Structure 1
Amino acid sequence: MLMPELSIADDGFRLDGRPFRIISGSLHYFRIHPEQWADRLHKARLMGLNTVDVYVPWNLHQPHRDGPLVLDEGLDLPRFLDLAAAEGLCVLLRPGPYICAEWEAGGLPAWLLVDPDVRLRTSDPRYQKPVEQFFELLLPHIRPRLATAGGPVVAVQVENEYGASGLRDRAHLDHLVTLLRSGGVDVPLFTSDQARDLADGGIPGVLRTVNFGRGAGEHLRTLREHQPRGPLMCGEFWAGWFDRWGGGHKTRRDEEVRDTLDEILAAGASVNIYMFHGGTNFGFTNGANDKGHYRPTVTSYDYDAPLDEAGDPTGKYRLFRETIARYADVPEEPVPSAGAKLTLRGIRLPERASLLAQAGALGGPTRRAERPLSMEELGQAFGFVLYETELPAAGDGVLCFGEVRDRAQVLVDGQPVGTLERENREQAIGLRSPAAGARLTVLVENQGRVNYGAGLRDGKGLVGPVTFNEQPLSDWTSTPLPLDALGALSFSSAAAGTGPVFHRGTFEVAAPADTFLHLPGWTKGNVWVNGFALGRYWSRGPQHSLYVPGPVLRAGANEIVVLELHGTRAGVVDFRDAPDLGPAE
């Protein structure tokens, strides 16, 4: 269907010349199984939304410098946009190149960090050239889906909350506008910033929007001070929040956010609800924050949103629908009911494979150097790096690292001696070397690159020198372990020894449906079901279950693989009909 065009007037938006209020909600196609896109978009329209807001993750779409644009399966952005159009929804597209989104590195590719001097999110040519290349690859797929070509994309964002970056590089913002316009983007452009950052994040001639969670009247007045004419819009109305490992499960009272939404709409403003549906940080894709302490984000991106992680309407969904109905037409269809859930208890995982013994089958190529090589130097974005060298002498000593990014498991001759965590600023560990030439092994996990603030340049692995009793260690091997394919693993029912171990089991399903994997007695690691990477688990919580999309399962036999980094009590998992996201905070 042909979609109408959006325009900006002094007193508000127009859609094909008629007054229009944007009532939007954020959802991220890359956090949703592609077979569930249509369902989530349909439920957006049923809540009363006329628009959806969508980020574009550069790091997934272009995983390799000078590589092609990846648009298959869960990254088929053109298909997602076509589904939105079929549902009758407009789209606010936010292509970054920086998106934040509590997403790994804010969407910036890891390969940008190979150059130690590149200045991210600035007019530095070493940053701008790859941005130009990305837009050259992306925009041909967007142009046919712009509203001016009959598509659903009615407006496009320039950068993302740039005012909060502290960089104040107007040339960078101007260049992005030029790239979009020269690339054929002829729909309105906009920026989004928190109220205190509107001056630094705005661009002359580009619509400003303001982001907040409460205090609508005050923030909209501030927006009007910076933008005397044109539409008032909350670019991100935070209906919930995200969680970090070791914290509580963040929630916001339904009535509080309902009242703020009502305040926005009563003021005549447009709104984008962040998030309408959060989804999941599948695999290794979660981001992290570092405001003096490194804090990685959990796997679930439920966000306490109107549509929960499994796509079921919550109390917020119903309250928001009722509120929107006072200001706009809402479909007469009833609120959708919760989807069916699968329950299977006591699934045993009897087969095992040692990560250390089979590292050569999981990654590579191994590289030798005088120092440990960073993950970026190894051409790697996600997962683990396995470092090895020899200890110079026997006896007790202290092993010191310049910096661990982000979590290191230390072994000597295959025996675990301890763990160091960046989050706790741990850089040294005492150990006993049994002999000169004892094998030192360090398994380092990337727990998520920083996605916001001054710490955006977040290289992974072992950073800086490594010493034992103040003597520098050299002659290192570095093996990348992205764990993006596990087919080469050899499993057996025999004990797999100490250290990180893969556990495998099978289970039968009569009718596939959404479910939640619970891992009682397990410590920390990652899970794959039928080869689909669900994400990370960690006994420290708050999250104690992993969402399993129904399309991942199949009727009949299914496989589950769990990488346990430390140890498990029983080697048994459950599929249950409800999640455990931890105690509300």
Structure 2
Amino acid sequence: MLDIRLLKQFTMNMSRALFIFANLFLLAHSLPTLYEYYTKDGIQAGLSDAKPYFTLNNKNITIYSGSFHYFRTPRAYWRDRLRKMRAAGLNTVTTYVPWNLHEPQTGVFDFGNGGSPFQDFLHLDEFLKTAKNEDLFVLVRSGPYINSEWELGGLPSWLAKHCRTVRNSIDAKFLYFVKRYFDVLLPLLAKHQFQKGGPIIAIQVENEYANTGRHDPVYLNTLKQMYDDHGIVEILCTCDRPSEQGRGSIPGILQTANFKVDAKGHLDMLKELQPGKPLMTMEFWTGWFDHWMDPRHHTDSVTRFRTVLEQIMDYPSSVNMYMFVGGTDFRFMNGATMSVRNFSNYLPDTTSYDYDAPISENGALTPKYYAVKEAIAQRNSIKTKLPDIPEARKLVAYPSVKVTNRILISDALLYLGKPLQSEKLLAMEQLPINNNSGQSYGYIAYRKENLDIPAGAKLTIPGYVRDTILVLVNGKLVQKPPKQLSDINGFGFWIQKDSSIVLSDKDLKNATVDLIVENFGRNTLGVFVLKGLMGDVFLNSQALNNWTIIPMEFASSWIPYQVHQQEFVDTSTNSAIHKFKIHIQGDPQDTYLDMREWSKGIVTVNGFVLGRYFFLGPQQALYLPAPLLRNGDNDIVVFEHFKAPEMLKFIDRAVYETPGGLYH
């Protein structure tokens, strides 16, 4: 028999649960949006640091922010990533602005539809509007320098043709170019300021300036004046490690902190530097980035991450998590870490910028995401409406495809760029092309024709190769392909100084020699190191002159496989371009290219350079987002330096591996 008391108790519990659920439901649907809460009675003030805590429009605010770089994620996915950020409880998104993408040639700007290969990633105006539509404020880190493990720290490479130095008040030419760029960028930002009805609540002046080792208040004040002149009224800030004792800042600009651990120690120093000011951690590093040849993919424990995050919040300090959304260094945009001019310490960054972030490179939510969501919910006393978490996008592994055509790179050169004639070798940046901006990215080929080569003759390259080189004689690769990490110390790479190689074991008449040099990523510290070859190279003791120079930029318009294709079987000793075709029925899905059977090179998808791959890891698969694919036929082209397989494989996940035996 049913116990009446138990039935009554069960009924009461159910009633309570339904009551609580109903109230939570009503509360959630009656909560104001972020913008409704902060602008309900009109806008009288922006973000203020006049008190020991932030206020926005005269209401208290703690900034819960995450870094998401619009230029590292396809435009079609911006809303998805932003909504996921808001669903986690964040109220702000932080982004850098890369000068080198927005002014790819001197005086030529691209903020979407500008004609550059990156144009679809550069709709900054749309990004800011989308952030507001997704109920997020924006903190803009506009440079001119950004670091961000980005090529040359975001500075355009064409500056090397005009400026001796950068990021100081000494070189008037550099400040001229900054002003010209800011005259385009800052009006765009100004119209999106919070006090004008937009999302931008703060703007960062320069980036990690103390890392230069200089204290140049004239330079920083010159930048500040540019912001003032363009009607920027929102709060300005700088960011550095507090241990730099404010050397990267100037009076009147809020200092913020960058660190990964020891939150209390860093925030204590920041508090001492500017007493009475609110505290802001501009970069709390959620993970870390990878270099090619790293022994492993960088990951951090969720426990450590959450512990430091909660220490920051409880100090209390506002926080920006760098990165919150992982991304991709598409095309040739990975930077490199190195001492100022020590090539033995040159470490190029991988194509993936996943960063072990709360939202991964492909948009998946990681355990760190839920740790953030819970930590903010427990601490944010200002309750506003949050969206549901968007549905996860499915990753698929498309069927493998077989190579359809190949062309030797030596035969493809004249289709990859317009040849130039020069008595001497010129670096990429020195070429009189692209509106006299030189060549920024990709490869550069130096061809010497009708050359008589004695048996055993050595080609000698004084100085360093910047950064890798392929040597071909009559289309055949001369050097041995690398098989292990120690081979990087030998010919063909950046470490060996005054390197040489034997071109032939027999006499050759009227031979053609091709030297193909790769820019593997410029120094993220913004220090000029020209790419390619300069000066002389020698055949035995004779300097070679009168070169044909071919810039291999792999712009979106290059289609070498549509002209003069050739079939051949042996790819074991030749650098070549390999064409694949995949037919997709219906809407494309996100996927990865499995590059574990390849050696080194780049991949293009429908004319767009997806990125680099290298068998020396740790990254072994390239993220291929659906917006780069299309319904129907898709062309995938691989430029492989060394040995290529017959098949191109797909996989439904990221792959981080260390090839066996390489790191003993």
Determine the C-alpha separation between the residues in 1 that align with 2:216 and 2:535. 30
1:394 and 2:454 aligned: yes
Residue equivalent to 2:395: 341
1:448 aligns with 2:521: yes
Over 3 Å counting, the alpha-carbon distance change for 1:203 and 1:23 in structure 2 is: same
- Pairwise CA RMSD of aligned residues? 2.1
2:420 matched residue in structure 1: 367
- Measured after TM superposition, the shift of residue 337 of structure 1 is 4.8
| Aligned-partner Cα distance in 1 for 2:407–2:503 | 27
SS of alignment partner, residue 54 of structure 2: strand
Partner of residue 558 from structure 1, selected from 634, 637, 648: 634
Distance 1:67 1:229, change over 3 A: same
Deviations for 1:47-74, whole angstroms, at most 9, x for unmatched residues?
Answer: 1110011100100100111223443321
Deviation string for 1:535-559 (max 9, x for gaps)?
1111111101000111222223222
Counterparts of 1:261 and 1:278, CA distance in 2 = 18
Contact 1:286-1:298 within 8 A present in 2 as well: yes
| Paired amino acid for 1:478 | I
Deviations 1:488-545 (A, max 9, x none): 5326461187632221122222341111111232111111222232111111111010
Q: CA deviation at 1:476?
A: 1.8
Deviations 1:338-380 (A, max 9, x none): 321122232112212233212222112x222222111011211
CA distance in 2, matches of 1:509, 1:254: 38
Distance 1:311 1:477, change over 3 A: same
Matched, 1:382 2:441: yes
Secondary structure of the residue that 1:323 maps to in structure 2? helix
Q: Counterparts of 2:592 and 2:648 in 1: how far apart (Å)?
A: 10
Partner residue, 1:353:
407
Residues 239-250 of structure 1: pairs in structure 2 closer than 5 A: 239-247=286-294, 248-250=296-298
Task: Please name the residue that 2:116 is paired with.
Answer: none
**What code does the residue aligned with 2:496 have?**
R
Instruction: Provide the C-alpha distance between the structure 2 equivalents of 1:287 and 1:303, rounded to a whole number of angstroms.
Output: 14
Aligned-partner Cα distance in 2 for 1:306–1:23 = 14
* Gap change, CA 1:491 and 1:523, over 3 Å in 2: farther
Tell me whether 1:322 sits opposite 2:405 in the alignment: no
Q: 2:101: which partner in 1?
A: 60
Residue 487 (structure 1) aligned to one of 529, 540, 559: 559
| Change beyond 3 A, Cα 1:355–1:421 | closer
Q: C-alpha deviations, 1:83-130, integer Å up to 9, x for none?
A: 001011111101101000000000000100113x52111111011111
- Counterpart of 2:66? 25
Q: Distance in 2 between matches of 1:351 and 1:491?
A: 10
Separation in 1 of the partners of 2:227 and 2:538?
Answer: 49
* Aligned counterparts, 1:116-265, within 5 A: 118-123=164-169, 124-247=171-294, 248-265=296-313
User: Which residue of structure 1 lines up, in the alignment, with residue 15 of structure 2?
Assistant: none
Which segment drifts farther, 460-469 or 129-138?
Answer: 460-469
Q: Tell me the distance in 2 between the aligned counterparts of 1:428 and 1:493.
A: 33
Amino acid at match of 2:579: R
Contact kept, 8 Å, 1:106 with 1:451, in 2: the verdict is yes
Give the deviation of 1:155 after TM superposition: 0.7
Given candidates 142, 149, 172, the residue that maps to 1:95 is 142
1:282 aligned to 2:330? yes
Relative distance call for 1:567 and 1:426 in structure 2 (3 A) is: farther
Output the CA distance in 1 between the equivalents of 2:510 and 2:473.
10
Contact 1:190 1:209 in 2 (8 A): yes
Match of 2:476 among 393, 399, 415: 415
The TM-score with structure 1 as length reference comes to: 0.95
Aligned to 2:77: 36
Q: CA deviation at 1:436?
A: 5.9
**TM-score for the superposition, normalised by structure 2:** 0.84
- Please tell me whether the aligned partners of residues 208 and 239 of structure 2 are also in contact (alpha carbons under 8 angstroms): yes
- In structure 1, the gaps of 5 or more residues are none
Q: Which amino acid aligns with 1:66?
A: G
Which amino acid letter does the alignment assign opposite residue 357 of structure 1? Answer: D
Give the structure 2 partner of residue 466 of structure 1. Answer: 537
1:14 counterpart = 2:55: yes
SS in 1 for 2:276: coil
Kindly provide the amino acid, as one letter, of the partner of residue 252 in structure 2.
Answer: G
Whole-Å separation in 1 of the counterparts to 2:287 and 2:494? 24
Does the aligned pair in 1 maintain the 2:411–2:475 contact within 8 Å? Answer: no
Q: Is the 8 A contact 2:246 2:255 kept in 1?
A: no
Match of 2:346 in 1: 294
2:88 is aligned with 1:47: yes
In structure 1, what is the Cα distance between the partners aligned to 2:616 and 2:146?
A: 28
Q: Secondary structure at the match of 1:357?
A: helix
SS of residue in 2 equivalent to 1:308: coil
Q: Name the residue aligned to 1:83.
A: 130
Q: Distance in 2 between matches of 1:30 and 1:397?
A: 47
- For residue 575 of structure 1, give the secondary structure of its aligned residue in structure 2: strand
Is 1:306 aligned with 2:321? Answer: no
Q: Kindly, what percent of the aligned residue pairs are identical?
A: 39
User: Contact between 1:38 and 1:83, CA under 8 Å: does it hold in 2?
Assistant: yes
Is contact 1:6–1:188 with CA below 8 Å preserved after alignment? yes
The answer to whether the 8 A contact 1:399-1:467 is kept is yes
Does the 8 A contact of 1:92 with 1:154 survive in 2? yes
Identify the residue that residue 597 of structure 2 maps to in structure 1.
521
| Residue 467 of structure 1: how far off its partner (Å) | 2.1
CA deviations 1:262-303 (Å, max 9, x no partner) are 000001100000000121001111100103411100000000
Larger displacement relative to structure 2 (429-438 or 31-40): 429-438
Residue 441 of structure 2 aligns with an amino acid whose one-letter code is: F
Q: Which stretch of the first structure deviates more once superposed, 392-401 or 523-532?
A: 392-401
- Where 2:323 maps in the other structure, the secondary structure is strand
- Whether the 8 Å CA contact 1:396–1:430 is kept in 2: the answer is no
Q: CA deviation at 1:335?
A: 4.7
For residues 445 and 432 of structure 1, do their structure 2 counterparts lie closer, same or farther at Cα, with a shift above 3 Å needed? Answer: closer
Letter in 2 for 1:574: K
Q: Which has the higher strand share?
A: 1
Contact 2:424 2:534 in 1 (8 A): no
Contact 1:69 1:138 in 2 (8 A): no
User: 1:242: Cα distance to partner?
Assistant: 0.3
Q: Which moved more, 1:305-314 or 1:224-233?
A: 224-233
Structure 2 portions without partners, runs of 5+: 1-34, 114-119, 432-437, 481-490
Partner of 1:503: 578
SS of alignment partner, residue 486 of structure 1: coil
Q: Deviations over 1:124-147 (max 9, x none)?
A: 101111101000011121111011
